[in-house]
Amino acid sequence: MALVSKRDFYETLGVDRSASEDEIKKAYRNMARRHHPDLQTGEAQKKASEEKFKEVNEAYETLSDQQKRKRYDMFGHAGTQQGGSADGFGFGGSGFGDAFNDIFEDFFGGQRGGSRAERGNDLQYNLDLTFEEAVYGKEAKLKIPRWEMCDDCKGTGAKSAASVKACPSCKGAGQMRFQQGFFSITRPCGQCEGEGRIVTEPCPACQGRQRTYRERTIAVHIPAGIESGMRLRLSNEGEHGVNGGPPGDLYVAITVKPHQIFRRQGQDILCDVPIHIVTAILGGKIEVPTLKGNTVIKIPAGTQQDKTLRIKGLGVPSIKGQSTGDQLFVVKVQIPTKLTARQKELLKEFGKESGMSMEEDSDGFLDKMKTFFE
């Protein structure tokens, strides 16, 4: 019978002979993933992968051990016949064990039995604020329904300590061992769902769920200057976890109700202010509203439509408290629609004194439009 020569171990893993331990380990993990039999479809592919996977493991078992690697470098495959496993698929040595554990994590999620702690769910509370509350902030008390750890059983789910027994299927290990190709695989026990224990008498308060549903009142500080669409996060105020897992977080989503008079633009507060046409022309003083009460502002003579007047420091504070916006008043000139005969006569006189009339103004406008379109 002709002898079949073995492939060079370095070539099998695709590394240079000068490769470091980390490079060899990384190469092994990549090759093992690629050729793992359980990841193949079809009998022919599985069989070919089994041979290749065996070859990769044999190469790594030698090159991951400094003494074995040294003998291999000196004597080749003959140097590997001393010690080790007869089939070249041994699991001895810390280097191989670490790499195999990494692959186990990749393939099977690292579930090794025992009660797995689970983090509680995050919660969201939608909070409506008035315009004033958003500007100046407030202290709010929120009623939050959530799952909390059962006080009676302290989160064990059992009536008493005597009500907790080791799982008869997995003997308390939380996992079952199955044969997969060349080696065995551990998976969570189906009877105890990986917890390793069976509760014979559940807690009457929580019915074995480890948690109870309650409504809790939580105090929340709403900072001044908050806006619609912002969310506040309260760490560990969400639902409690199970099996000792940490609680989730509570998110408070903010919606600011519209105001009848004011609107927000960044840190400024805007307000439309109607003024009489006479006040716009001659100027004067008018009373205007602010969030801190009414005040008086001066209207300059000749004020035009949509002119903005400003009072500094009466706007919205920044959410970090570093600055404050202004109060802005947008002028809306009111044109009277019902005039007495005397008022009309006075306006006509005003027009004549200004050197204009409705007819002349109309002709002038039409002449300008003709020039524009020529």
State the CATH number of the domain containing residue 303: 2.60.260.20
Output the pLDDT for position 107. 47
Residue of 155, 167, 183 lying closest to 114 (CA atoms) = 167
Output the pLDDT for position 81. 60
- Measured between its terminal Cα atoms, the distance across the chain in Å is 105
Output the pLDDT for position 1. 35
The verdict on 363 and 248 lying in the same domain is no
Spatial separation of the C-alpha atoms in residues 178 and 137, rounded to whole Å = 61
pTM: 0.59
Q: Is residue 252 part of a domain?
A: yes
Spatial separation of the C-alpha atoms in residues 137 and 220, rounded to whole Å = 11
- Would strands 231-234 and 250-256 be described as parallel, antiparallel, or unpaired? antiparallel
> What's the CATH number where 25 sits?
1.10.287.110
The verdict on 129 and 61 lying in the same domain is no
pLDDT tens over the chain, length 374 residues = 333 457 888 888 888 888 888 888 888 888 877 777 666 666 777 777 788 888 888 888 888 888 888 888 877 776 666 444 433 333 344 444 555 555 544 444 444 445 678 899 999 999 999 999 999 999 999 999 999 999 999 888 888 888 888 888 887 777 777 665 556 677 778 777 777 788 889 999 998 888 999 999 999 999 999 999 999 999 999 999 988 889 999 999 999 999 999 999 999 999 999 999 999 999 999 999 999 999 999 999 999 999 999 999 999 999 888 899 999 999 999 998 889 999 889 888 888 887 776 555 555 555 655 555 55
> What's the CATH number where 188 sits?
2.10.230.10
The verdict on 139 and 243 lying in the same domain is yes
Output the pLDDT for position 355. 79
* Coil, helix or strand at residue 156: coil
Q: How many CB atoms lie within 10 A of CB 163?
A: 17
Q: Is residue 82 part of a domain?
A: yes
The verdict on 41 and 144 lying in the same domain is no
The verdict on 269 and 168 lying in the same domain is no
- Taking only Cα atoms into account, the Rg of the chain, rounded to an integer number of angstroms, comes to 41
The verdict on 121 and 224 lying in the same domain is yes
For the record, the structure tokens of 96 come out as 């191989």
Instruction: Kindly tell me the sign of the dihedral angle through the C-alpha atoms of 341, 345, 351, 355.
Output: positive
The verdict on 284 and 355 lying in the same domain is no
For the record, the structure tokens of 64 come out as 């991951």
pLDDT tens-place string over residues 189-234 = 877 777 778 888 999 999 888 899 999 999 999 999 999 999 999 9
> Which position has the token pair 């079952």?
176
Spatial separation of the C-alpha atoms in residues 309 and 329, rounded to whole Å = 5
Q: Is residue 103 part of a domain?
A: yes
Q: Among 334, 350, 365, where does a domain finish?
A: 334
Report CA-CA distances (Å) from 344 to 137, 281, 324.
52, 17, 47
Q: Among 71, 90, 108, where does a domain finish?
A: 108
> Which position has the token pair 């020039």?
371
Q: Is residue 207 part of a domain?
A: no
The verdict on 139 and 254 lying in the same domain is yes
Residue of 9, 36, 11 lying closest to 107 (CA atoms) = 36
The verdict on 230 and 296 lying in the same domain is no
The verdict on 67 and 180 lying in the same domain is no
The verdict on 148 and 244 lying in the same domain is yes
Q: Is residue 206 part of a domain?
A: no
Domain of residue 310, residue span: 262-334
- Would strands 262-265 and 268-276 be described as parallel, antiparallel, or unpaired? antiparallel
Region at 12 (left for phi over 0; alpha for psi -120 to 50; beta for the rest): alpha
Spatial separation of the C-alpha atoms in residues 282 and 302, rounded to whole Å = 6
The verdict on 139 and 170 lying in the same domain is no
Q: Is residue 168 part of a domain?
A: yes
Spatial separation of the C-alpha atoms in residues 136 and 127, rounded to whole Å = 16
**Number of structural domains the chain divides into:** 5
Q: Is residue 347 part of a domain?
A: yes
Output the pLDDT for position 57. 87
Spatial separation of the C-alpha atoms in residues 311 and 324, rounded to whole Å = 12
Which amino acid belongs to residue 85? S
Spatial separation of the C-alpha atoms in residues 308 and 306, rounded to whole Å = 6
Question: Residue 86: phi, psi to the nearest 5?
Answer: -70, -30
Q: Is residue 277 part of a domain?
A: yes
For the record, the structure tokens of 343 come out as 């008022």
